Structures are given as structure tokens and as C-alpha cells.
Amino acid sequence: MSPVLSLILFLLFPYTEAKTSEGNNDTNIYEFCQPTTCSTKGPNIRFPFRLKTQTISCGLEGFELSCLNNKTVLHLPSSGDYYVQDISYLHSRITIMDVHESTCPLKTILSFSLTNSKFSFIPSIYYSQNFTIVNCSEKDAWIGTDFYELIGPIDCISSEKFFVYVISAHESMEMLPSSCTISQTVEISAEMTPNDAILRATLGWEALGGCHHCEKSGHYCGYNVTSSSTICVKQNRGLGPLSISLISTGTSIGGIVLFALVIFLIYKSRESEKEKETQLKVEKFLEDYRTVNPTRYTYKELKKITSKFKHRLGQGGYGSVFRGKLFNGIPVAVKMLEHLKGNGQEFINEVATIGRIHHFHIVRLLGFCSEGNRRALIYEFMPNGSLEKFIFSKTNSSSHRQLSWEKLRKIAFGVARGVEYLHQGCSQRILHFDIKPHNILLDHNFQPKISDFGLAKLCSKDISIVSLTAARGTAGYIAPELFSRNFGEVSYKSDVYSYGMMLLEMVGCRKNKDPAVEIQSQIYFPEWIYNRMRQGQELCLEFEEDGDEGIARKLAIVALWCIQWNPTERPSMPIVLQMLEADLQSLEIPPMPFVSSDVETGAIN
């Protein structure tokens, strides 16, 4: 069935149904419960919500709203009043934000509670975040520790006796300083971070039976207090007594409108069918995820943000990246997707996967633009750019290493933490499929952030094997099983392989397969470094500080474990983190991770 015919049938269905269901006995249920708003820009207020000025039967207990200065307000019994930004009746979601900007944002977050309310943190593919509150008797207790997701001390809730810090619950508490004790663990919305000045959250409520199907069909869900049951009311019934006659005449009017629409669709069908399908797909996705935290910008706003695309930061196969500044002064990087692939799927993947992720080692998506065939992604700006430019010297010499070995170790550990979060920290596992130096961005402190989720795939953590129709990733980092199932099944271990190849490039300060290397036997760096490690030889790399060689050997050993051709022999990311923190002497050199280049091609099979 063609898209045009499908759309015609879809549009015709409500008019047909309207005529056949006029005899519903609940016609006057909404006579005094008409949908209303607090302002023209405010959310629509209807069942299960009601304004406090409306009769009690218009809504359910606990869903009362009020108007304050033309803004919609929700009162939570244990937390107070919050502005309502959006209500999705189809998805049973309400987005709220604090009425006042707090001078102590963390205190506001800690006091936020859904106790005795009808709402809960939205059940999505991502968990709400857990943070651990820690009290320390010494302010400098954290010096020398590897807690990356640490915020504090928080002066407004600290005292003379103890200093308060906030740590992500993903951090291991085994290395907690002796002068610190755990106070409590709190749950906040996945849209929040402890640094945010205004509390905001998307909450969900349990829809009554039949309401989701009713809203999905384009009607309103209501409640008949006489029969104690839900009812499905057509939208125009909330307009008053004339609604019944309007329903009967709506069919003929709808026919005229539908005819005009068909003429319009025929005219528009001259455009590229593929582009139209892409736009519909993207818009459908954005409609389903319209309460997602990143802001949607128009193309006109995008031009203002980038000063008409004046400062280009780089260009790739996807398009160009420009530097910009949001209207609140925050610097950003704007990626213009000029060469879309997969019918807009890369754009959808990016928004769906990192739109709600707040993790220290994952770049934050602040906004996006989708207007016609123009699409863009807006990220937090990383002043030091990608890891790639720091580890691949233009002179192809390790003596020109730009980052210290200690800094490389911290970067390797940070990336591992980010990948572990993607694999374990969400209710659904996120496979990146493109871990490489180019996609690791560095902030002003050289803390790594994983970026570019265009090839990412979501899967259940209960399922270890992933089905793919084609290999995805970048040559040189793609796991063998993505090319041939003879090497094993595709799983989260494919990301582990890519991470291992990236580690080797960090150690060797060059591409793993570099045509510029003079000695041909050293062209495949993983094999060259494996042979030297196995034979106990020096790595022939540049070391400046005591301990540098130990760091290099540890990174190399971990990398060689990660790039085992057999996926089952690769460690998981939690094990990788343990290996990176372990003593060098406790690490074993893995077996040969690949087929030696000395073996004839015919023997590989």
C-alpha cells in the first residue's frame, strides 16, 4: 500500500468512527469539564488532571492543578509547588520544573520527593540516576584518588565539622577515603545532574485501563463516576452542546478537506519519496520523545547560535562541525548532518541514545534541529577536541608524544568507565560500535567524553547476542565477528575489541596499520608489540618519568586481551577496569590474539 493511500485511510477512519458512535450515552460527561489552559502557551489541562476551580468529577484525586501568573502549577505533597512545562496524555508523562532558582541546588534536589503523590520517575530505557552523598572530616581527603564523578565540597550543606561531596553511585566505594562516611543514596531524574540550578524532571503516572488506546486513537480519555469506568470521548465533545451536531456534519466537511488534502499530497509526491519517508520517520520519533531533555531549535535559531556558521571546527563524512554559543552564553559544537545515511536512522540513534544520558565520560547532547531535510545536533563544547590529534603525531615518531603517560592512563580509564556505563548502567544495553580516538573528545582538563552515537544499537541486557544486517564501524576498529560469524557472535564484546585497538594506538602513538612505517614487519603494530611483550623485550617507546614504562606495558596487555579474535576470550568492561587498576605484575600476557601475518592466507580459514 502506498504511503499516500495509507494516509488517506488513516485520515478517513476518525470520520467514519465519529458517525457510528454518536449514540454513546456519555455524550454530556464533559459538558462542565472542557479542556482548558492557564495560558495560550501552557499545556492542555483535561482528565485525569483538572484545575482546582473545576468540579471534582473532572479529574482524579492527586491530579489537581492551579494557575499562577499564567503558568500551570502542580503541587506535590512532600516537595511543594512546581511549574508544569508539558503534559503527554498519550504517554502518561508530565514534565515539571522548580518554581524558584535555588541558591543551593543540591539541597533542592535532595529534598525532592514523590512520596504520597500519584507520580513516579518516568519508566524509560534509562534508569533514574543514583548519587551517593558522602560526609568527610577532611577537605583534601580525595587527593590521590581516582573518583572521576565527584562533585564538591558543597558549601551550602557542609558545616565546620564535615564537608559534603556527591559521587555517582556507579563509582566503587571500596576506595572511599578513611575520613569519609556514606550519608545516603538519593535517586533523581535522569534529566538532572547535581550541578543544575533548577530542578526539573519528567514524571509518569499509571494510566487507567483503556486510556492509552483511547488517546492513541486521537480521542480524550474520561471517567464516568456513575458507572465507575473510563470512557473514550471525541475531542470536539468538550466544546459544548453543539458538539453532537458538529460530529454529524463533520463527515461531509471532512470529505472536502480530505479531497483538498489528496490534491496537495499528489502535488507533493513529485518530491523525493525517500526524503519524505525520512522526514516522517524522524518526526514520528521526535513526537514520541518530545519530552526528552535536549531542546529543539529551528534552523533560524541555529544560524544565530553559530553566527551564520562562521567558525568551522572540522568536517567529516557526516558533514561539518561549527562552534557556536547558546542564547544563555554556553559554548557549543553544532554538527550539521549534511550527508545522512540510513534514512535518518543515525540522527534518531544519536537523540535516542544520548538524549537522556548524563554521565561524566559521555558527551552531553544539549539540543537538535530537524527542519525539512536540515538536521543538526548540538553538543557541549570540548575545547581540546578529539583524542586523535594528540596521539597521532604528524612526524610519526613516539618521541613527539603530546600527552604524558599518566594522562594517557587516566584517559584510558575514563573511556573504559564510559563504555562500562553504556553496557551496564542503563536498563537497556547500548552498543556504540564506533569506539575510536576520533570519537573521544577531551574537555579543558583532558577528561575524555565518548561521542558520536550514530551507529549505536539498543538491546536488552538479558540478550548477549545482537542481530545485525551489515558490519558497522570504522576500518581498523571493527571486531572480526562483524565481518564473519565464523569468529563468533556480535555482542557487547565488539565494543571491547574497538576499545582495545584504540588503547594500542594510544601506546604506539600511531595507527595500528601505518603504510608510512619503513620496516614492513612492523606495519601491523598489535602483532609487533605482542611479540616484544611475549619475548620480554623493551617496547622501544619514549619514557620520561619513572613508572611510564609500567603504564605503557599495562595498557598494552589490557589492549591485547581486548582484541582477542574470539569474543568469548575478551574481558567485559568491568574486568577491563579491574585490570587497569591492578598491579602490572598481576597481569598475564594473553595468548596470541590474532593469526600471525607469517601464516599464509590460505591457512587462515
Binding site membership: which residues? 335
Angle at 575 between CA 416 and CA 593, to 5 degrees: 90
Q: How far is CA 598 from CA 382, 528, 545, 591, 604, in A?
A: 43, 12, 36, 16, 11
Question: Virtual CA dihedral for 169, 170, 175, 178, nearest 10 degrees?
Answer: -10
SS in 3 state form for 72-129? EEEEECCCEEEEEEEEECCCCEEEEEECCCCCCHHHHHHHCCCCCCCCEECCCCCCCE
* DSSP 8-state class, residue 147: -
Encode 556-565: b = buried (16+ Cβ within 10 Å), e = exposed.
bbbbbbbbbb
Distance, CA of 429 to CA of 127 (rounded, Å): 11
Known catalytic residue: 288? no
Distance, CA of 593 to CA of 570 (rounded, Å): 9
Distance, CA of 88 to CA of 122 (rounded, Å): 12
* DSSP 8-state class, residue 269: T
Contact 33, 238 (CB under 8 A): yes
Helix ranges (DSSP H) in 228-314: 243-268, 273-288, 299-305
C-alpha cell read off for 80: 511543594
Annotated binding residues for ATP: 335
Residues forming beta bridges with residue 203, ordered by sequence position: 94, 121
Contact 292, 301 (CB under 8 A): no
| Catalytic, out of 196, 434, 452, 548 | 434
Residue 77 CA neighbour count, 13 Å, CB half: 9
C-alpha cell read off for 256: 472536502
> Would you say how long the chain is, in residues?
605
SS3 428: strand
Contact 432, 450 (CB under 8 A): yes
- Sorted by sequence, the CB contacts under 8 Å of residue 332 that are 6+ apart come out as 305, 323, 324, 325, 326, 366, 367, 378, 379, 380, 381
Q: What amino acid positions are annotated as catalytic residues?
A: 434
